[in-house]
Amino acid sequence: MLQPWFKDLISIASEIAVGLSAAIVAVVAILGLSQWRKELQGKARFEAARKLAYLAYQFGDQYKRARGMWTSVSESTERDRHPDENASEAQHRDECFARMNRIRPAQETLKEIHQVCWEAEVLFGKDIGRLIEPLEDLFNMLHTAIEMYFGHHIERAMKGTSVPESDSAWLEDKFKIIYGHSEDAISNSVDKTVASFVQEIRSLV
């Protein structure tokens, strides 16, 4: 027959064992949740980086397509016509309208990059917004060139005057920004800028 003190000892030992088991289960659960959280964070970071890289390449392709040399007549059919515009003015307005429409996809992609960058900054805990600045500079350069180049020609066409020789140099510079091909200096600059952006994003994962 067991002594009362021995029964008490067994009871205490049993309670300790149960308590230890519960503690071990809690520790294992916490470790499991921590690991699961790290895996989710890792997946979220990878997905954010993947999306940013995809959008950057998309921006580059859209930018280069917008600079294509040839413009179709169908690209300006939706433009509102001025009843008193002359033939030269109409031609430049059509071209300006078409070129502005061409850069809109790149502009929308840039907005998406901004949105995803904001989400990525929360995930990575780092300032990623600064990485977008070179892409923004490229877009602003093209947008400004279109506005200045065609604005100048439209103004001259409305007045019925020719372009003075003094304006030829800067107009030619704007022309080379607006019109190009996949292997020219600006396209190469776009490729390098996109590649640099993607490399920076990869280094964060």
pLDDT at 123 over 90: no
For residues 140 and 159, give the distance between their C-alpha atoms in angstroms, rounded to a whole number.
Answer: 28
Which residue type, as a one-letter code, is found at position 70?
W
Tens-digit pLDDT profile for residues 173-195: 999 999 999 889 999 999 999 99
Look-up of token digits 């895996």: 39
Domain boundaries, the chain: 47-202
Look-up of token digits 């994962």: 205
For residues 67 and 8, give the distance between their C-alpha atoms in angstroms, rounded to a whole number.
Answer: 88
* Structure confidence at residue 49 (pLDDT): 87
Tens-digit pLDDT profile for residues 15-36: 665 555 555 544 444 444 444 3
* Structure confidence at residue 14 (pLDDT): 60
Global pTM value: 0.79
* Structure confidence at residue 37 (pLDDT): 45
Rounded to 5 degrees, φ, ψ at 101 are: -65, -35
3-state secondary structure of 38: helix
Tens-digit pLDDT profile for residues 72-95: 999 999 999 888 899 999 999 999
Question: Please, are residues 76 and 95 in contact by the beta-carbon 8 Å criterion?
Answer: yes
191 contacts: CB under 8 Å, gap ≥ 6: 60
